[in-house]
Copies of this chain bind each other. A is one copy, B any other.
């Protein structure tokens, strides 16, 4: 009965990550001591917060001097003006403001709330920004893991994002390394031999979403999950390729 079964395995016991830590090495330590191990072809999904911590992508809110624009948006949204300042520094443009929500386009091109600047799980008075280059972070973590564990893996860095037409956030892939993020099935035959014309699946986002089911089990979150048994297509293209260019958007 095990044919084709995919496992989502939470990785517990990772130490509190601090700037300068080798996250790949800490992940390998935790999978070894927990008995989960790592196998060839595993997909290691990592929450962006620990990546940001390891890379020191943190703002101390007391050290930020808010601009007049940040102060104005803080007044409209009821947010802390230093938090808004961090949000603006991480953004290319403000897409929309409503209630207490600021939707921005991040420097990476992601459209999301608060430029992904997160006040959760980073400690009082600190905000975590997204990694500068999540694909490069994923690549580095993958190489660290492969060196320490001796097996080939893929790495996805994930974050939880809201959607325009649907309530609730879902985990998506903001960075990846070692796998093709989009599976292009166009040209394959269907059940009746009809050729699929428009089937491109964002497997990186589906893997990130799956990982969250295991990561969300503890109230404080589990920062890493391993997906085992999914046959991905090896690739060198990063998750930045998932971002739809503005001129291509249909909405």
Which residues of A approach B to under 8 Å, CB–CB?
Answer: 1, 3-10, 12, 16, 34-36, 95-96, 98, 101, 103, 110-111, 113, 119-124, 160, 163-172, 181-183, 188-192, 194, 196-203, 205-207, 209-210, 212-214, 216-217, 219-222, 227, 230-231, 241-244, 249-251
Contact of A182 among B5, B168, B251 (CB under 8 A): B168
Taking a contact as CB atoms under 8 Å apart, the answer to whether A201 and B249 are in contact is no
Q: A110 contacts which chain B residues (CB < 8 A)?
A: 165
In angstroms, Cα B208 to Cα A212, docked, is 12
Taking a contact as CB atoms under 8 Å apart, the answer to whether A6 and B7 are in contact is yes
Taking a contact as CB atoms under 8 Å apart, the answer to whether B8 and A101 are in contact is no
Closest to A35 in B: B1
The residue among A122, A210, A220 with the most chain B CB atoms within 10 A of its own CB is A210
Q: A203 contacts which chain B residues (CB < 8 A)?
A: 168, 213, 216
Q: A6 contacts which chain B residues (CB < 8 A)?
A: 7-8, 210, 213-214
Q: A164 contacts which chain B residues (CB < 8 A)?
A: 164-165, 244, 249-251
Taking a contact as CB atoms under 8 Å apart, the answer to whether A190 and B121 are in contact is yes
Contact of A244 among B7, B103, B166 (CB under 8 A): B166
Taking a contact as CB atoms under 8 Å apart, the answer to whether B120 and A166 are in contact is no
Taking a contact as CB atoms under 8 Å apart, the answer to whether A119 and B165 are in contact is no
Taking a contact as CB atoms under 8 Å apart, the answer to whether A202 and B167 are in contact is yes
